[in-house]
């Protein structure tokens, strides 16, 4: 789950990483009140789950509360790379001498968290990595040993931060960022820019914070930060039902059991010239209720023209799945073709149940390739 800047900063604050004081506003009037409370000048910042807000005109300096109200009126409702702004963060303006970059993420190939730091912050980090790779310091942390003071010192020395006051503050922030990353079970914590003020104070001016969805159940306070309004309603429905669902662009709804088979099904649908509208993973189980839930999610997707239901029964028994399909079809009156490929444990029994039901829009196929072809044909 990606957090908004203001939410990430709230977590930073909890872990002792210095941030500026601010308030959230959803109307120009609230923006004015926030500016009055904080004292101008303030910065009005669009809260959207995408970067490059500054360049897109979503970040403006307000010299007065009047200004803040007018700028908030401009920014609220603005479209930034396909995201509509419904909230602005009003923050006490900072004076900036220098902009650095600090992040912590997973390096999957090294199987370790990875710090990246550079004194060339503020701009796109990809640009620094491409044009000036030596300026980007990378340092892994062994998760079993954890983060120690030397990690912070190594980053600032290799990053060539010369001021001792800055070195000390940044090294401390490095330690706290690691605590936030582990404590929140994050997948990314990025500060760009990490600023140095004319007084020599180091502070996080921006935040990009991604928390592992699969760990959210351990963090109800972070889970509650989810923006229901901004989420895809189908993804919300799927999450409520405990169904793994991913939205894609095509016409064929894909349902499989197990991540591997589901991904292969997406590939095969594409291979035979179709385009998946989405995919759903029933997981290893796939009891009747699971099938009903998954079909309910898939059939709510208006782009779906046909469904390809690909089941290999290992632990999942195909007769159980077949009953689930019939139960779902009865409950929901599925208005479009449903192609089912059943193979594995009790496959014959499963296919017999489906054939005996003799539903006009239910098509049983014996192989994955035939099933995919059929579904793509029927979706056309």
What is the secondary structure of 280-295 as a DSSP string?
EE-TTT--HHHHHHHH
Q: Which of 93, 244, 261, 272 binds ligand GDP (CB under 6 A)?
A: 93
190 is annotated as an active-site residue:
yes
Which CB, 123 or 234, lies closer to ligand GDP?
Answer: 123
**Does residue 122 touch ligand GDP according to CB under 6 A?**
yes
Listed ranges 80-88, 176-184, 203-211, 246-254: which one lies at the site for Mn ion (CB under 5 A):
203-211
Selection from Mn ion, ligand GDP, none that 226 binds (CB < 5 to 8 A by kind) is none
Listed ranges 19-27, 107-115, 166-174, 187-195: which one lies at the site for Mn ion (CB under 5 A):
187-195
245 is annotated as an active-site residue:
no
Selection from ligand GDP, Mn ion, none that 46 binds (CB < 5 to 8 A by kind) is none
**Does residue 54 touch ligand GDP according to CB under 6 A?**
yes
Q: Of 92, 75, 90, whose CA–CA distance to 25 is shortest?
A: 90
Beta pairing, strands 186-196 & 98-107: antiparallel
- Cβ-count burial of 199 within 10 angstroms (0-12 exposed, 13-18 middle, 19+ buried)? exposed
**Does residue 206 touch Mn ion according to CB under 5 A?**
yes
Residues 6+ apart with CB under 8 A from 172: 152
Selection from ligand GDP, Mn ion, none that 49 binds (CB < 5 to 8 A by kind) is none
DSSP state of 183: H
Cβ–Cβ < 8 Å for 44, 32: no
Place of tokens 């600032």: 156
Which residues, numbered 62-121, are part of the site for Mn ion (CB under 5 A)?
A: none
CB of 57 to Mn ion, least distance (A): 14
CB of 163 to ligand GDP, least distance (A): 20
Is the N-terminal amide bond of 76 cis, ω within 30° of 0?
Answer: no
What is the secondary structure of 43-83 as a DSSP string?
EEEE--SSS-TTTTT-EEEESSHHHHHHHHHHHTT-EETTE
| Structure token digits, residue 326 | 């019939």
Given the residues 30, 91, 190, 320, select the one marked as catalytic. Answer: 190
Q: Which residue is nearest to ligand GDP (CB)?
A: 54
**Does residue 188 touch ligand GDP according to CB under 6 A?**
no
Which CB, 69 or 206, lies closer to Mn ion?
Answer: 206
Element (H, E) at 247: strand 244-247
Query: Footprint of Mn ion on this chain (CB under 5 A)?
Result: 192, 206
Query: Footprint of ligand GDP on this chain (CB under 6 A)?
Result: 43, 51-54, 59, 93-94, 96, 99, 122, 192-193, 205-206
């Amino acid at each position: 789950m990606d957090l908004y800047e203001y939410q990430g900063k709230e977590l930073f604050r909890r872990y002792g990483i210095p941030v500026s004081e601010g308030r959230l506003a959803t109307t120009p009037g609230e923006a004015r009140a926030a500016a009055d409370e904080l004292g101008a000048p303030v910065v009005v910042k669009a809260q959207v789950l995408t970067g490059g807000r500054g360049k897109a005109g979503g970040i403006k300096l307000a010299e007065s509360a009047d200004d803040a109200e007018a700028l908030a009126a401009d920014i609220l409702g603005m479209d930034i790379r396909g995201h509509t702004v419904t909230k602005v963060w009003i923050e006490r303006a900072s004076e900036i001498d220098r902009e650095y970059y600090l992040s912590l993420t997973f390096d999957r190939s090294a199987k370790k968290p990875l710090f990246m730091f550079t004194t060339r912050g503020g701009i796109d980090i990809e640009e620094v990595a491409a044009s000036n790779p030596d300026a980007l310091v990378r340092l892994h942390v062994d998760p079993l040993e954890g983060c120690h003071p030397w990690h912070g010192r190594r980053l600032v020395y290799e990053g060539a931060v010369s001021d001792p006051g800055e070195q000390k503050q940044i090294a401390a922030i490095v330690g706290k960022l690691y605590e936030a990353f582990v404590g929140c079970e994050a997948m990314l914590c990025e500060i760009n820019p990490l600023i140095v003020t004319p007084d020599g104070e180091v502070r996080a001016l921006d935040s990009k914070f991604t928390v592992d969805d699969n760990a959210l159940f351990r963090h109800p306070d972070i889970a509650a930060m989810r923006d229901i309004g901004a989420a895809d309603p189908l993804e919300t429905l799927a999450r409520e039902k405990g169904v793994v669902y991913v939205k894609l662009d095509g016409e064929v709804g894909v349902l499989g059991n197990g991540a591997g088979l589901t991904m292969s099904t997406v590939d095969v649908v594409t291979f035979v010239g179709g385009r998946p509208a989405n995919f759903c993973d029933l997981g290893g189980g796939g009891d009747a209720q699971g099938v009903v839930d998954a079909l309910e999610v898939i059939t709510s997707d208006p782009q779906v023209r046909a469904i390809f239901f690909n089941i290999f029964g290992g632990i999942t028994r195909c007769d159980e799945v077949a009953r689930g399909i019939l139960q779902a079809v009865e409950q929901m009156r599925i208005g479009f073709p449903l192609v089912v490929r059943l193979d594995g444990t009790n496959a014959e029994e499963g296919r017999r149940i489906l054939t005996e039901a003799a539903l006009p829009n239910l098509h049983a196929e014996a192989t994955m390739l035939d099933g995919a072809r059929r579904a793509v044909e029927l979706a056309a």
